[in-house]
Amino acid sequence: MSDKVKVIIDGISVEVAPGTSILNAARQIGGDIVPPAMCYYSKLEGSGGKCRTCLVKVSKGSEADPRPMPKLVASCRTTVMEGMEVQNITSPEVVDARKGVVEMLLINHPLDCPVCDQAGECDLQDLAFNHGAADTRYEFERRTFERIDIGDKIQLHMNRCILCYRCTYVADQLTDCRQQGIVGRGDYAEISTYIEKAIDNDFSGNMIDVCPVGALTDKTFRFKSRVWFTKPVDAHRDCPTCSGKVMLWYKGDDVIRVTARKDENHEVVEFICNTCRFDKKATKDWVIEGPSQIDHTSVISSNHYYTLKPLPVIKENKALMAANKVELERTKKD
């Protein structure tokens, strides 16, 4: 008896373990049929179900109950059933609903991409480009907040926050003392600390890595460079606190930023400590492994050095030049 559950997503069949969410089943297939996710994070328990960008249509509930689900469901919170059939990009209803969700996320989000350090690696930018509308119908004044220092290394821009809750889950699950959370309700809800108390635990920097927008930024990196002008390199060190496996972001010979490594879903592979992130910014502190593998669709991969290889056309040009030279010599003799 098989211990796998068969599910069909956009016409593609996949077998997954019981209890797997539709989103993670789609991730096993990969490609364009994977729903976007702004709040779900596989490494953070309890995340998901807040941003609604991963909505899908279940056209067949299961073999036992083939009735379709009456409404679109959040794929990160819905588990697969044997024989389930799901529509993502093949459903016009899903495409239209996702466009509406993106429009809602952008209602209060400022258009400050030109000055935001998250530009080039912002999930909301990608989401708006791939699933959003060309313009907005929102005509009212956007909500605004003052920038807050929540530590000597982290800047909080609540104007950019989409309330995905990822940073609060990081504080809950990686530290023994959570100092920030959601205060207020509705349009007044915001991430904040208790009487603006500084966050000083040793894993607080991971809030920067999990933030899908530019709400939490690294103060040691702010305005130093655009990410597409940097060269990310995989490196490691013997660290007593964390795995010590990081990405070093070089500009010239200088390490201007250190981050955790991320997988194809833009999720941190292993969380790192603040010592590795903020205090070890010299090449001598690390064992260099080689260039980081960057998704070819990312602007960070533009002019990236590991893609530079001798092209066959160069050899063909040399052969053509040699042939032309022979022809030229023959013409001179004639």
In this prediction, residues 118-137 reach a mean pLDDT of 85
Query: Two tokens at 131?
Result: 């699933």
Report d(CA 163, CA 211) in Å as an integer: 10
Report d(CA 318, CA 310) in Å as an integer: 13
pLDDT at 142: 81
Is residue 321, in this structure, part of any structural domain at all? Answer: no
* pLDDT bracket for residue 314 (50, 70, 90): very low
Query: Two tokens at 121?
Result: 């690696």
Compute the mean pLDDT over every residue in the chain, rounded to the nearest whole number.
Answer: 85
- Residue 13's region, left for phi above 0, alpha for psi from -120 to 50, else beta, is beta
Lowest mean pLDDT among 35-44, 85-94, 147-156: 147-156
Is residue 125, in this structure, part of any structural domain at all? Answer: yes
Report d(CA 35, CA 4) in Å as an integer: 22
pLDDT at 307: 47
pLDDT at 313: 42
Is residue 330, in this structure, part of any structural domain at all? Answer: no
Tens of pLDDT, residue by residue over 220-234, are 999 899 998 999 999
Is residue 325, in this structure, part of any structural domain at all? Answer: no
Same domain, 37 and 65: yes
* pLDDT bracket for residue 260 (50, 70, 90): very high
Report d(CA 123, CA 34) in Å as an integer: 14
Query: Two tokens at 171?
Result: 């504080």
pLDDT at 315: 42
Q: Is the pLDDT of residue 266 over 80?
A: yes
Is residue 85, in this structure, part of any structural domain at all? Answer: yes
Report d(CA 247, CA 255) in Å as an integer: 10
Q: Is the pLDDT of residue 316 over 50?
A: no
Domain count of the fold of the chain: 3
Q: Which of 199, 220, 241 is the last residue of a domain?
A: 220
User: Which residues constitute the domain of residue 180?
Assistant: 108-134+142-220
Is residue 161, in this structure, part of any structural domain at all? Answer: yes
Q: Which of 220, 252, 272 is the last residue of a domain?
A: 220
Q: Is the pLDDT of residue 143 over 90?
A: no
Q: Is the pLDDT of residue 58 over 70?
A: yes
pLDDT at 189: 80
Is residue 305, in this structure, part of any structural domain at all? Answer: yes
Query: Two tokens at 265?
Result: 């879903």
Same domain, 30 and 85: yes
Nearest Cα to Cα of residue 67 among 75, 58, 76: 58
Same domain, 76 and 172: no
pLDDT at 270: 94
* pLDDT bracket for residue 204 (50, 70, 90): confident
Query: Two tokens at 290?
Result: 């080689």
Q: What percent of the chain has pLDDT over 90?
A: 52
Lowest mean pLDDT among 56-60, 110-114, 229-233: 110-114
Q: What is the DSSP string of 133-152?
A: -SS----SPPP----EESSS
